[in-house]
A = this chain, B = another copy of it.
Amino acid sequence: MQGTQQTPAESAPYTPTDRTVPTRAAHKASYDRDLVHAILDEGYVCHLGFVRDGAPVVLPTLYGRVGERLYVHGSTGSRPLHMTGEAGPGLPVCLTVTHVDGLVLARSAFHHSINYRSVVVHGTAHQVTDPKEKRLALDALVDHVVPGRSADSRPANKKELAATAVIRLDLNEVSAKLRTGGVNDEPEDLALPHWAGVVPLRKGYDTPLAEAGLAPGTGLPDYLTAL
- A-to-B contact residues, CB < 8 Å: 19, 23-25, 44-45, 47-51, 54-60, 62, 75, 77-79, 92-96, 98, 100, 103, 105-110, 112-114, 116, 118, 120, 122, 138-139, 141-142, 145-146, 149-150, 152-157, 160, 164, 182-183, 185, 189-211, 213-215, 217-221, 224, 227
A189: chain B residues within 8 A (beta carbon): 154
| Chain B: minimal CB distance from A44 (Å) | 5
| Chain B: minimal CB distance from A192 (Å) | 6
**Secondary structure class of chain A's binding surface, majority of residues:** mixed
Which one, B118, B152, B201, B211, contacts A203 given CB within 8 A?
B201
Q: Are A96 and B150 in contact (CB under 8 A)?
A: no
When C-beta atoms are compared, the residue in chain B nearest to A114 turns out to be B44
A192: chain B residues within 8 A (beta carbon): 154, 215
Contacts A105-B153, A110-B164, A193-B215 given; 14 further ones with Cβ under 8 A? A19-B55, A48-B58, A50-B56, A108-B156, A112-B145, A114-B145, A154-B192, A183-B211, A185-B211, A193-B218, A195-B220, A199-B224, A200-B208, A202-B205
Copies of this chain in the oligomer: 2
A45: chain B residues within 8 A (beta carbon): 98, 100, 114, 116
A62-B114 in contact given A77-B24, A92-B55, A156-B108 (Cβ < 8 Å) = yes
When C-beta atoms are compared, the residue in chain B nearest to A227 turns out to be B199
* 9 sample A-B contacts, Cβ–Cβ < 8 Å, listed by A number: A45-B116, A47-B47, A56-B57, A103-B145, A106-B153, A112-B145, A193-B215, A195-B224, A197-B208
CA distance A110 to B98 in the complex (A): 26
CA distance A47 to B182 in the complex (A): 24
A92-B56 in contact given A79-B23, A112-B153 (Cβ < 8 Å) = yes
Q: Are B199 and A218 in contact (CB under 8 A)?
A: no
CA distance A43 to B196 in the complex (A): 21
Q: Are A154 and B107 in contact (CB under 8 A)?
A: yes
When C-beta atoms are compared, the residue in chain B nearest to A124 turns out to be B55
